[in-house]
Amino acid sequence: MTTRLAARIARRELRGGLTGFRIFLLCLALGVAAIAAVGTLRAAIQSGLEDQGAALLGGDAQMEFTYRFADAEELAFMDRTATRRSEVVDFRSMAVIADDSALTQIKAVDANYPLYGTVTLDPPIPLADALATKGGLPGAALDPVLIARLSLNIGDTFTLGTQTFRLTAAVIREPDSSGGFTLGPRTIIRTDALAASGLLAPGSLYETEYRLALPPGTNLQQLEDQAKATFREKGMSWSDSRRAAPGIDEFVDRIGSFLVLVGLAGLAVGGVGISAAVRSYLDGKIATIATLKTIGAEGRLIFRIYLFQILVLAGIGIVAGLILGAGIPMLFSPIIEAQLPFPADIALAPMPLIEAAFYGLITALLFTLWPLARTETVRAAALYRGGDGQRARPRGIYIAALLGLALILVGGSVYLSGIPELALGAAGGILGSLLVLALTAYGMRRLARRTARSGLTRGRVPLRLALGSIGGARSEATSVILSLGLGLSVLAAVGQIDSNLRNSIEQDLPERAPAFFFVDIQPDQIDPFLASMANNPAVTKVDSAPMLRGVVTMINGKPATEVTDHWVVRGDRGLTYADTPPEGTKITAGKWWPEGYTGDPQVSFAAEEAAEIGLKLGDTITVNILGRDITATITSFRDVNFSTAGIGFVMSLNAAALQGAPHTFISTVYAPPEAEGQLLKDVTKTWTNITAIRIREAIDRVTEALGAIATATAWAAAATLLTGFVVLIGAAAAGERARVYEAAILKTLGATRGRILASFALRSALMGAAAGSVAVIAGAIAGWAVMTFVMDATYRFEPVSAFAIVIGGILATLLAGLAFALRPLSARPAQVLRTQD
Amino acid sequence: MTDPILVLTDARLTLQGNAGPVNILKGISLSISRGESVGLVGPSGSGKSSLLMLMGGLERASGGSVMALGQDLTAMDEDALARFRRGNMGVVFQSFHLIPTMTALENVALPMELANVTDAFARAEAELVAVGLGPRLHHYPSQLSGGEQQRVALARAAAPRPAILLADEPTGNLDGVNGQAIMDLLFGLRDQHGATLVLVTHSAELAARCDRVVRLADGNLAPELKAAAE
């Protein structure tokens, strides 16, 4: 009965319409929309990857080998199971013209390529024609970026290694390119054209991928198990169309989860607005509540009446948010799908919408429960005594419910995001920021009250008025500082992280980093190469090391992937050998093998990675190199610093263990930027097979990739800030009536409009500055935490973005505050004061 | 006096003001019989309204006791007081305090709905017709004049047939004609249903219509009437 009665009364109460709830609905809808949009896009990409799995992979399944081609046994297995097979060789090299050269990622293919889909070229000719040999010169199709970089025209020639190729077309789209990160733009050629290039010499860094077209209905899991059981120990890695692009899948999943967390921060900002809106609505309802009490309504009934109303409103806000969040991506799907580097299939996806609705509902309840619970404590005496009549704290059960809701929200985000550490960190950050902001607002109000009463403001009327209203009973300071502060905190954190990352890549790294990585230096070339470098006066330092690639297959005799999922055991790794510890080696535990050691293989492992995997001295590591297993005992740990872009290998074996295996050398060369061009020419002219990776160009590629992530994050942060601004507008609008009254009295007492405006502006600026300052501190802490614990890099406070945040905060509150100053300034005092009587 | 329905013994009310505690009522002892009408008079700030609120359980006494219908109001919590008021007390305020989002009919039916009265709306309608608002049943408070609003408030207070009617300057916001009409209605309802009426008023004329007048001054019963009140 009580529930039905509550619902009936609530329905009558809602007849007043939704006018008082615009801010409530906007805040909730914006927050839900941001999360729903991110979720819809994530689902779209995942479904796109699933649908086009085979085309993306280039086959129903793929067997991949590092450093070598498949042997007869492996080829026989493929031919037994597949209806068609295509071989692709993938490696980096230099495309060279008369006086220039550029790094390129070569894809050498056979006649069966591509098994699925087609390669789009410009001019639109078939791939077979583009790659055909004409006039003794094999054809090649190049990425337009590479064509522009080398200023080539169709029909021009260039060399790869010692083989000359003819440019026949630009590659517009490869069906099996999923937009993964590569250092060099693409070149497509025929594998047999490489025979005379000298590029695939033993030890060169290349990968072979065998794409298989399987009969319909093939059990992929069974086939994978079979292939792995037979060939994994020979260094084969398997992928199939079920997860064609695990890298992208994981990347999209993580970025999506991260953006949902940013969206949650937006929802928390909105929560502040929701709470303020409900508080102000219920303040206006005190007479009604007291009347209800007078005629016999119990506190519980009153709570339910208003809970019903909030649930109905939350429902409206959430549905609006879901329509917006799912609708915008669908509406703009052609544009979005064209912009994304991977396939996306934008459609109505229920799961992300359920997730967004869950977050919306819990947030709405979390931020309204406190004011709702306080309706119980409104006393009937409020009717004749005035005031709000509700100073008591809500009952314990409501406080317990609040904590429960907070736990459900945090638990939900931890579970749904799939990145528990980041979700917990974000939740902690949001809660911590809210707490600090609430304390700041409280402190600011107290300080404002005291200062307004002190002698300091004597003679400074605008200041005293501003401080008086910040410290006053109906001050909007708390909701302004909370909402704007939280919105700016997210933006400040993004700004700090972004500029720190950019700085560490663009400024710090090149100072310490070499100018070039030279790879694929054959053993007989290393001595002349080093001699040439030594004779070059521009070269300040050269480091070199032998390099092989292998897959860690076993740890202490157990399959490595069962022991850990650390990046070291995922895919193939570079490894090196040395007889004596290279200069500057710092052994942290154990002992390096004696010089000239020829006994059982020993390995020195990178200390940090070893600790992460849980390795200890005496453990054994089995590495598969070119199909051969080498098992070595860990006899020492050493410090390896990957952040300087110098040569760093996780594993270094004793020389005798690997010297016999085919390998090449890697060399880092340090030289000033102005000498880089000539150095590159000298090396690529003399040794055509050597690949040069210019660090400066590589950094540009990394920065580009990072820029895309930063842009996505900035969009999500902008949604947060937009919500914050809505809350600001709401707070300013809520204070308008009080300000009209205040301005009327001031005018009666002789204050000019200029003075009144100055007081309003001062009040807004003070609140904005407080919110901005807290945001800078919160952003710096978040930036430090992410740089230190997630990026493993050093953090440096970035004053420019921080300064911009404070200024932005002041401007935003000024804008919102002054937008609502017009009516107070223009109202005629007599009108206002007569109404007030 | 026989059959006391409201008994206050040394009732005190102290409120916390900005400058410290303020003693509003300083030990009121008063007994009101069933069916009696009592006018509470006194200058502004003497504590009339506060005394009325103590009687209705809308304000909690800081000391002493307030017994209504044999029950100690000071021992009840807010919810128990709310339940007690259903059907036992009707309150009319100077500024009406109708719920703006409800029609006249819904406002009057509400206390009976709260008391689970099955024919709440039929009774509410009859009550509104009785106060002359038959054609105004579905109007919202904002669509009614002050006099009409007060009649709705009166109907709301009287509809559940409470044993006690409390009225806090019910004509204070009305002009002479409307005020007179409301008072006629109020006394008419009281005569019709035999309710006890306690009325706060500034009007000597109104007070004179009551069976007894209790005068307050500075939170105390005024000396000249104190003996009669007890």
How close is the nearest chain A Cα to the Cα of B103, in Å? 9
pLDDT in tens, A613-634: 889 999 999 988 877 788 999 9
pLDDT in tens, A698-732: 777 667 666 767 777 777 777 777 888 888 888 78
Q: What is the mean pLDDT of residues A241-257?
A: 73
pLDDT at residue A832, rounded to an integer? 67
Tell me the residues of chain B between 73 and 92 that have a Cβ less than 8 Å away from chain A: 78-79, 81-83, 85-87, 91
Taking the C-alpha atoms of residue A366 and residue A756, their distance in angstroms, rounded to an integer, is 38
Q: Which one of A5, A18, A295 makes the best mutation probe of the B interface by having the most chain B beta carbons within 10 Å?
A: A295
Q: What is the mean pLDDT of residues B49-71?
A: 91
pLDDT in tens, A77-109: 999 999 999 999 988 888 888 878 888 889 999
A300-328 b/e (C-beta count within 10 Å ≥ 16 → b): ebbbbbbbbbbbbbbebbbebbbebbbeb
Q: Is it the case that residue A553 has pLDDT exceeding 70? A: yes
Q: Is it the case that residue A43 has pLDDT exceeding 90? A: no
pLDDT band (50, 70, 90) for residue A642: low
pLDDT in tens, A783-793: 888 788 776 67
Q: Which one of A2, A9, A294, A308 makes the best mutation probe of the B interface by having the most chain B beta carbons within 10 Å?
A: A294
B118 contacts in A (CB within 8 Å)? none
A347: helix, strand or coil: coil
B83 contacts in A (CB within 8 Å)? 296, 298
Q: Which pTM does this prediction carry? A: 0.72
B113 contacts in A (CB within 8 Å)? 5, 8
Q: Does A18 touch chain B (CB under 8 A)?
A: no
pLDDT in tens, A279-330: 888 888 888 888 888 888 888 899 999 999 999 999 999 999 999 999 988 8
pLDDT band (50, 70, 90) for residue B229: very low
Contact assessment for residue A332 and residue A374, using Cβ atoms and an 8 Å cutoff: no
Q: Shortest CA distance to A725 belongs to which of A30, A260, A35, A258?
A: A30
Q: Is it the case that residue B224 has pLDDT exceeding 60? A: no
Q: Does A682 touch chain B (CB under 8 A)?
A: no
ipTM above 0.85, yes or no: no
pLDDT band (50, 70, 90) for residue B227: very low
pLDDT band (50, 70, 90) for residue B26: very high
A775: helix, strand or coil: helix
Q: Is the dihedral of CA A487, A489, A492, A497 positive or negative?
A: negative
Interchain pair A299, B99: CB under 8 A: no
- CA distances, B160 to each of A296, A481, A526 (Å): 11, 49, 105
pLDDT in tens, B72-125: 999 988 778 888 888 799 988 888 888 877 889 988 988 888 888 889 899 999
How close is the nearest chain A Cα to the Cα of B181, in Å? 23
Q: Which of A294, A379, A383 has its CB closest to that of B85? A: A294
Percent of chain A with pLDDT over 90: 18
- Tally A–B CB contacts below 8 A: 80
Q: Does B98 touch chain A (CB under 8 A)?
A: yes
Mapping DSSP onto H, E and C, the string for chain B reads CCCEEEEEEEEEEEEEECCEEEEEEEEEEEEEECCCEEEEECCCCCCHHHHHHHHCCCCCCCEEEEEECCEEHHHCCHHHHHHHHHHHEEEECCCCCCCCCCCHHHHHHHHHHHCCCCCHHHHHHHHHHHCCCHHHCCCCHHHCCHHHHHHHHHHHHHCCCCCEEEEECCCCCCCHHHHHHHHHHHHHHHHHHCCEEEEECCCHHHHHCCCEEEEEECCEECHHHHHHHC
Interchain pair A1, B116: CB under 8 A: yes
Minimum CA–CA partner of A299 in chain B? B79
